[in-house]
Amino acid sequence: MFSYRHAFHAGNHADVLKHAVLIATLQYLTQKDAALTVLDTHAGAGLYRLDGDYASKSGEASEGVLKLAATPTEELAPILQEYLALVRSFNQGSTIRNYPGSPFISQALLRSHDKLKLFELHPTDMRSLAGNVTQLDAGRQLAVLHEDGFEGVKKFLPPVSRRALLLCDPSYEIKTDYGRVLDMVTDSLKRFPTGTYAVWYPIIPRPEAHDLPRRLKTMAVKAGKSWLHVTLTVKSNKTSERGGLPASGMFIISPPFQLKELLKPAMPQLVKLLGQDGNATFSLESGG
């Protein structure tokens, strides 16, 4: 159950998509004065070294954030410029050695009166996360919880502030994660219907992976909520047999109204810059 370590994959194409969407969503949600609570169900270590043993072994960042960073900034869509600017803020000089995971990205964008709840069950990543967040000096704004995020979020919904973003990005290392995501989102919508719910998932040759976005869409429609679904494919499944994830997606319930417009110019650029074969493509749809 605990074999997955995100350090091997930090800064890959899936992180680029997930974190660009996360940044745009947080920037929108923090425009209102009222406090925001962010729930991160699978926080990981929080901060990663791209020149460390894990990331260097996989080399996935070289096909993700590092390839994007080699492109002149002014040529990139605004959402990708914002993404790179935030990543660079954790580094000195032009070389990107440190890569912020979702906990550090969220904390960088939140205001002093916002709250950030980080869940991590992996014992090694939990120790790394606890150690990494001490350097943030976030005080009571941030809480690190060594528990199952699928269940742990329940006690924070609805939030006191009545505004929340829930980010769910498990490893899906065990296929029951797909069902647990659906159960958690169903329960969360009942507890707090006006929240924003963002789910990342890998697109792999597994029925559960293809079923997940369809069922999330059905759930959103039945609840009368707006939704957005974006996917990025960088190579074919056959190519991926040599290793590495071929594609991933983000499904957001009650997304920022301008998110689709921000993604429209960005997704073709990601296909062009991060695509690894002729099968690279993207999809972007919304409703509600």
Residue 10's alpha-carbon distances to 7, 76, 101, 141, in angstroms, are: 5, 21, 8, 25
Catalytic residue, candidates 40, 169, 177, 187: 169
- Helix (H) / strand (E) containing 249: strand 247-253
Report how far residue 178's alpha carbon sits from residue 13's, in angstroms, rounded to the nearest whole number: 21
* Tokens read off for 119: 């869940």
Q: 250 has which bridge partners?
A: 200, 230
CA angle, 43 then 17 then 227, to 5°: 90
Report how far residue 148's alpha carbon sits from residue 2's, in angstroms, rounded to the nearest whole number: 13
Neighbours of 151 (CB within 10 A): 14
CB 191 within 8 A of CB 159: no
Secondary structure, 3-state, 152-184: HHHHHCCCCCCCEEEEECCCCCCCHHHHHHHHH
Q: 49 has which bridge partners?
A: 98
* Tokens read off for 118: 């980080």
Q: Decide if 40 is catalytic.
A: no
CA 48 from chain centre, in angstroms, equals 15
| Catalytically active residues, by annotation | 169
